[in-house]
Amino acid sequence: MKIAVSSDSTLSISQTEAKKRDIFVMPLNVIVDGKEYHDDIDISRDELTAFMRAGSRISTSTPTPVEIEEFFNRIFAAGYDEIVHFTISSKLSSMFELFSLTCANLYGDKITVIDSKSICSFMGNHVYTAKALADAGKSRAEIFEAVTKRISTEYVVFVPESLTFLKNGGRVSPAVAAIGNLIGLKPVLFFQNGEIGKKGATRHLKKAIDEELIELRKKGYDPAKYSIDILQFDTAKSNIELMYNSIGKHFPEFEINLNPLAINVCAHTGPGTIGVGFNLKPGVTI
């Protein structure tokens, strides 16, 4: 059996990179001021940034059943017999339920849909693990078992540039956003067990990052199993350098990777967001 590995674009790699890795990526639907685009197909990351910086209203939506059918039909037409497909965390989107029901109705048991309970490069490493197992001749059941042992291993902290996009998404009130932005208050968010929560707020990015890294140090991550990922979306170079320097001070033994923030995350947090978290390396299970 020839098994394909696919994912929605939450894993934050380009269509070009996906083709190099022989992974099929279904673009998320991005809605800008009421007009729908497809991530990395008819809207680029730079174009999305420009829209957001200009104050456009940004949201995302799930693919239609027709789009899902066309996506998987192309994969089967390419000569694959079965598919393992990953969705963004079910605690952030209805994608898992939608794909599970649609695939069962259209393809029976030919597709295994996995709830990554993850985002961005953390989701990406789960996908890469599945791809390596598929290339090694493992069955869908074996891939599912191995990948699910990795689920919910990450803990990520995000600091958005402002409260504006959290206000637009209804996560904070306009009054709170206005006052917070006026005094330079930045929210501190976390991602754990598949969902995003709010930790607090800070006026000083460096202090917030150092405090979070000190807390992360207590978790005892193994550098043989984990790398450290910095996530960014149109983030100032000075803030990225600040993050690199802080990580180097607290975790000199770890590999550090810089990766883009997924559009369905930055649609809520906004451009300028920076994040950091420990990412279980591809192929590693707990």
- Report percent pLDDT > 70 for the chain: 92
Q: Kindly indicate the confidence band of residue 176, based on its pLDDT and cuts at 50, 70 and 90.
A: very low
Mean pLDDT, range 211-217, rounded to an integer = 90
Mean pLDDT, range 244-273, rounded to an integer = 90
Residue 175 pLDDT greater than 50, yes or no: no
Q: What is the pTM of this model?
A: 0.92
Q: Does domain 155-280 have CATH number 3.55.30.10?
A: no
Q: Thinking of the domain 3-28+63-148, which architecture would CATH place it in?
A: 3-Layer(aba) Sandwich (3.40)
* φ, ψ (nearest 5 deg) of residue 225: -105, -30
Q: Tokens for 18, please give them.
A: 């996906």
Q: How far apart are CA 29 and CA 95, in angstroms?
A: 12
Q: Would you kindly state where each structural domain of the chain is located, as residue ranges? A: 3-28+63-148, 29-60, 155-280
Q: Name, in order, each residue with C-beta under 8 angstroms of 49's C-beta and a sequence gap of 6 or more.
A: 233, 234, 271
Helix spans in 22-139 (H): 45-53, 65-77, 95-107, 120-135
- pLDDT for 223: 96
- pLDDT for 285: 82
Q: In what order do the strands lie in the sheet with 35-38?
A: 35-38, 29-32, 58-61
Name which of 90-99, 102-111, 160-169 the model is least confident about: 160-169
User: 155-280: same fold as 3-28+63-148?
Assistant: no
Residue 276 pLDDT greater than 70, yes or no: yes
User: Letter for the amino acid at 110?
Assistant: K
* φ, ψ (nearest 5 deg) of residue 29: -90, 120
Sign of CA dihedral 17, 19, 25, 28: positive
Over residues 263-275, the pLDDT tens digits come to 878 877 888 899 9
